């Protein structure tokens, strides 16, 4: 009888559809947001603003505030960028959550949206709470420092990378 069971053909699993998993996707985005905020709270409570902790010859933990966007873009724009970036972050998150609810057929695209939502909202919370984003990861080499960043930034860049990758995978179109 073992041979008979081994020869039984099982029907294929149904294809992925985010409409069945959109709540779980939003929970994962919330987990990314919570992890980002938890690490930022730890950094803010452990390090004074501007302080850095040597970790390796190419990596430090720092505590800096960035009122701008990526690479401190718009950092000295006069304050309007805070509200503009909050509106953009919230609007993009709402649209992506709606697309997840409406249905995407690719796990890769759903994972991209999860990262983008979690990361965007992680930085939105900072902007609303502090007027700037807490950055704490500092990569450097021979005196040259990459702009400091945080987990939310990693989620956004990772989500964008997954979305780019998903665009090359056939069969991942959004459902109507």
Q: Catalogue the active-site residues.
A: 135, 153
DSSP 8-state symbol, 3: H
Quote the CA–CA distance of 6 and 13 in Å, as a whole number.
18
User: In angstroms, what CA-CA distances link 115 with 13, 94, 102, 141?
Assistant: 25, 13, 18, 28
Query: In angstroms, how far is CA 122 from the centroid of its own chain?
Result: 8
- What beta strand segments (E) does the chain contain? 52-56, 59-66, 133-141, 144-145
Alpha carbon distance 37, 119 (integer Å):
10
**Would the CA dihedral through 153, 28, 173, 166 be positive or negative?**
positive
Report how far residue 128's alpha carbon sits from residue 86's, in angstroms, rounded to the nearest whole number: 7
């Amino acid at each position: 009888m073992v041979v008979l069971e081994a020869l039984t053909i099982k029907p294929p699993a149904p294809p992925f559809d985010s409409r069945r998993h959109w709540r779980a996707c939003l929970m994962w985005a919330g987990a990314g947001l919570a992890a980002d905020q938890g690490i930022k709270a730890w950094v803010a409570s452990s390090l004074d603003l501007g302080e850095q902790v040597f970790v390796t010859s190419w990596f430090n933990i720092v505590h800096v505030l960035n009122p701008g966007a990526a690479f401190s873009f718009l950092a000295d724009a006069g304050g309007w960028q805070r509200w503009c970036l909050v509106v953009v972050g919230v609007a993009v998150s709402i649209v992506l959550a709606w697309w997840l609810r409406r249905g995407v057929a690719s796990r890769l695209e759903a994972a991209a949206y999860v990262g983008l939502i979690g990361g965007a909202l992680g930085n939105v919370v900072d902007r609303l709470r502090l007027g700037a984003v807490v950055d704490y990861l500092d990569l450097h080499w021979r005196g040259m420092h990459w702009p400091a960043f945080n987990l939310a930034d990693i989620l956004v860049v990772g989500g964008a990378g997954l979305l780019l990758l998903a665009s090359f995978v056939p069969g991942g179109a959004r459902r109507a």
